[in-house]
Amino acid sequence: MALSVSSIATLTLTRFSSSYFNRISKRFSSRAPTNTHNRPQMSFSSSSPTEPKQSEKISAPYGSWKSQITADVVSGASKRLGGIAVDSLGRLIWLESRPSESGRAVLVREPDRPEGESVDITPKDYAVRTLAQEYGGGAFSVSGDTLIFSNYKDQRLYKQSLSSNDSSPVPLTPDYGGPVVSYADGVFDARLNRFVTVQEDRRQSSTNSTTTIVTVGLDGKNIREPEVLVGGTDFYAFPRLDPKGERLAWIEWCHPNMPWDQAQLWVGYISDSGEVHKRICVAGSDPTIKESPIEPKWSSKGELYFITDRKSGYWNLYKWVESDNEVISVYSLDAEFSKPLWVFGINSYEFIQSHEQKNVIACSYRQNGRSYLGILDDAQGSLSLLNIPFTDIDNITLGINCLYVEGASEVDPLSVAKVTLDEDKSKAVDFKIIWSSSPDCLKYKSYFSLPELIEFPTEVPGQTAFAYFYPPSNPNYQATHDEKPPMLLKSHGGPTAESRGILNLSVQYWTSRGWAYVDVNYGGSTGYGREYRERLLKKWGIVDVDDCCSCAKYLVGSGKADGERLCITGGSAGGYTTLAALAFRDTFKAGASLYGVADLNMLRAETHKFESHYIDNLVGSEKDYYDRSPINFADKFSCPIILFQGLEDKVVPPDQARKIYKALKEKGLPVALVEYEGEQHGFRKAENIKFTLEQQMVFFARLVGRFKVADEINPIKIDNFD
């Protein structure tokens, strides 16, 4: 449910005359095709005036403003980053997902010369993506001139040479006749010429797969079944070899825990024949210490570092003293130096070489809704911050005399920057964007609404929660007298995830048209420590819903939004919060659920192994499962809802959306369902990203907005309304 990656009182719907809205003449199909030529060709627009000069401003109702940040711009700027690496020559390699190619993920190498062009490494017939644990991540690894990657279509591992542009990938793992065995988070074992990786085997069961750490031979001549190196536990991640290839560290955890609830860090000693012959549990075995270790990494001197949240409840850096089998703190701070393991391949810190040959660590941490990049001197226990434009950082990769940082800010979209350090490795002397998810976005800078981090009171006396608020912003328009803007509240997925205050053109799509927008980090979100994260245990569908409603009411009370035009949206777990808020509260007047959960029992029965016990910790008793499932209380819904669903979704299967759609249609509420062929959990195709955004906009405008949208949008039919 991580992607984001989302009432009891009576609502009187405002119906508009046919002269105000174009009526829909064709029946709405519950399976809306992705081909726009097959969609109903009706228009829904206003005769908006030509955009004025910058010195003028038009007074127009909120929501009706015309913006250059169109749905086409948003969908075209929706590239995703799937990881970065550096080859033997120090050139950056990144994995980008392209909506214009139906979400195909391609490895790209930076140009050899500054004036050159980047080069696609992945051949046309391949796509780099793993389906391990459904959310994937860690789909490729680079060592010198050798690349190992997971191919999306068959999920096999392939080896490819980076020294030749016409090198064809060579398969390393068997062909099982379909994508039933996946690999992720692998590392090279130079000592034994093999690849050590996490394997998820779904041949026996798609919902109860077997996860192990395996080895794959690299000679490429004889394809053999991977050999199991470590097995017997439900889940594994972060297999990491020491510099000599003699010790392997890894993270493991068991049901019903998620990796951020309780996990263990192990070290195994590897024999000359390549087997693990001795094991030591480094962290997580003491029942008196509640912790979730993550990101083990060996220094060049063979010392094991890792991140865990023991004692303080914050993910901080620690080190293992092997001689005493003791764990010691490297640096303590009430901040998060890592994040929940939703995807493989997280890399929050790197060892960098210094003249004194001491351990100097480049690391990032998150505190009070902002990220920081710092240099940690292990010997002195000191941390100095680097001054860079990014206020949000995901991963760090070590380059030659530099760092490559995945990050963003309130005016920078998701990007990769090259950060050059001084000789002392204590200051950043240069900062250069190498890759951007939206390289042309600065042309729309005059439209940008900058986020305001707000802290608002919750239903629990004395307790607060957090959100990012974006006010309406358009250089060409101003509101009509005394009008408050409609507001869209987003509930993020996970629910163990975090909203970030960074430039996102899908947010700017709303604010530049005159909407207020708020992105809520309800109790249960990450980024604020274990105690904040555990507010949601046994209370999913209560705390998250209450916090979203409290945030909306707080902003209405502050005069920043119109209380009669509050809408809510969310994907996956955020879709569940959306549906629960609409069923069990009366705060919002309409909602949009993207691949959201309607039936908790159905989710528990049908979802994949990784999350199959997740909601047991979030919900509780059988009665709670029933009482918190919106589908069981269709009579409590009283406002319009639009649903979007991928038909290949294995995390939240399509029956969830169909079930809630049918119930609301029979109740007589305005409702619409859009289903996408070929989409999984989260939409990757540009045309579907665009369609979803536009249909939310026109749906809310027609039913609660009291304005005409400025864009040419062909609205789908709304049952019980059209």
pLDDT tens-digit readout, 342-383 = 999 999 999 997 666 678 999 999 999 999 999 999 888 899
What confidence tens digit (pLDDT) does each residue in 44-70 have? 333 343 444 556 899 999 999 999 999
- Enumerate domains of the chain plus CATH numbers: 448-704 (3.40.50.1820)
Task: Give residue 40's pLDDT.
Answer: 32
Residues recorded for the chain: 722
- Nearest alpha carbon to residue 450 among 549, 517, 369: 517
Of the pLDDT bands very low, low, confident and very high (cuts 50, 70, 90), residue 392 is very high
Provide the percentage of residues in the chain whose pLDDT is more than 70.
91
The rounded Cα 612 to chain-centroid distance in angstroms is 19
Of the pLDDT bands very low, low, confident and very high (cuts 50, 70, 90), residue 165 is low
- Cα angle: 211, vertex 217, 222; to 5 degrees: 115
Which secondary-structure segment (H or E) carries 233? none
In the chain, the amino acid numbered 91 is R
Residues 156, 172 contacting (CB under 8 angstroms): yes
The rounded Cα 199 to chain-centroid distance in angstroms is 22
- 197 pLDDT higher than 60: yes
Residues 172, 178 contacting (CB under 8 angstroms): no
Residues 555, 512 contacting (CB under 8 angstroms): no
Q: Using N-to-C axis directions, what is the helix angle for 543-557 and 573-584, rounded to 10°?
A: 70
Query: b/e for 593-621, b at 16 or more Cβ within 10 A?
Result: bbbbbbbbebbbebbbbbbbbbbebbbbe
State both tokens at 575: 């879709």
CA distance 184 to 343: 10
Through-space distance between the first and last CA atoms of the chain, rounded to whole angstroms:
32
More confident residue, 355 or 557: 557
- 282 pLDDT higher than 70: yes
Within 10 Å of residue 332's Cβ, how many Cβ atoms? 13
Task: Give residue 2's pLDDT.
Answer: 55
- Nearest alpha carbon to residue 472 among 500, 448, 438: 448
What confidence tens digit (pLDDT) does each residue in 223-263 have? 999 999 999 999 999 999 999 999 999 999 999 999 999 99
Task: Give residue 53's pLDDT.
Answer: 53
- Rg of the chain's alpha carbons, rounded to an integer? 26
**What does the DSSP assignment read for 372-388?**
EEEEEETTTTEEEE---
pTM of the entire structure?
A: 0.88
Q: Collapsing DSSP states into helix, strand and coil, what is residue 709?
A: coil
Task: Give residue 54's pLDDT.
Answer: 52
- Nearest alpha carbon to residue 597 among 534, 665, 545, 531: 545
Residues 379, 416 contacting (CB under 8 angstroms): no
DSSP 702: I
Task: Give residue 55's pLDDT.
Answer: 61
In the chain, the amino acid numbered 425 is K
Of the pLDDT bands very low, low, confident and very high (cuts 50, 70, 90), residue 112 is confident
Query: b/e for 306-331, b at 16 or more Cβ within 10 A?
Result: bbbbbebbbbbbbbbeeeeeebeebb
Task: Give residue 222's pLDDT.
Answer: 86
Of the pLDDT bands very low, low, confident and very high (cuts 50, 70, 90), residue 166 is low
What backbone phi and psi angles, to 5 degrees, belong to 417? -115, 145
What confidence tens digit (pLDDT) does each residue in 560-609 have? 999 999 999 999 999 999 999 999 999 999 999 999 999 999 888 888 89
Contacts of 286 (CB under 8 A, 6+ apart): none
Of the pLDDT bands very low, low, confident and very high (cuts 50, 70, 90), residue 322 is very high
